[in-house]
Structure 1
Amino acid sequence: MDPVEINAGSWYLRGARSDTRYRWHVCEPITGDVVAEVTLDPNTATLSSVGDNTEAIEVAERAVRGFAAQALGITVAD
């Protein structure tokens, strides 16, 4: 899948190349430091997240759900 960048306001989601999924590094917008990673599997409509910053993950997951719905026509399972 081609990387897709998402500006989630307080966090920046930098797209990362993946063969079968959409993957983002969740970054602090000023320094670019990676604080988490979020992955969307479009075949199963599921999200997975890794990282210690729960606020960043919550914001990123919300943004990825919006991307999935608007750009891909996918409703992500809870």
Structure 2
Amino acid sequence: MEAIEINAGAWYLRALRADDRIDDRPALASGGITDPGYVARRSAQWGDESHFSWAVCEPTTAELVAEIGVTPRPDGTALIDGWARPGHQEALGAGVRAVRRFTEGALGLRPDPD
């Protein structure tokens, strides 16, 4: 599956990136994620549908302020989790609500209860 962008009201969710236009690695490092292969691995997981992840971004700058992930399970449920940079819990909450709707509607999975 190709990565899907989601509009979450004041926030926009997109695939993680590390290219000549947008590099999420510094923002990921501020969240404790320093693995140089992390962005490539997350991209590959979209392809094999083993995990779906989104960068929750400021819409005007595309800066990553949080990350949300969905891990499908064989029983038709899904684990949704995420983290936010300091001061961006509101963005995480809005993103999680949008991802829950996507998980149910587009992926046909039942998210774990909150």
TM-score (normalizing by structure 2): 0.63
**Which residue of structure 2 lines up, in the alignment, with residue 72 of structure 1?**
107
Q: RMSD of aligned C-alpha atoms?
A: 1.4
Q: Which runs of 4+ in 1 moved over 2 A?
A: none
**Which residue of structure 2 lines up, in the alignment, with residue 31 of structure 1?**
61
Q: In the aligned structure 2, how far is the partner of 1:18 from the partner of 1:70?
A: 22
Shift of 1:18: 3.9
2:84 to 51, 59, 62: 51
On the 8 A contact 1:46/1:76 being kept in 2, the answer is: yes
Q: Which runs of 5+ in 1 are unaligned?
A: none
Q: Which runs of 5+ in 2 are unaligned?
A: 17-42
TM-score (normalizing by structure 1): 0.90
Q: In the aligned structure 2, how far is the partner of 1:42 from the partner of 1:8?
A: 21
Q: Map of 1:5-24 to 2, 5 A cutoff? A: 5-16=5-16, 17-19=43-45, 20-24=50-54
**Which residue of structure 1 lines up, in the alignment, with residue 38 of structure 2?**
none
Give the structure with the larger helix fraction.
2
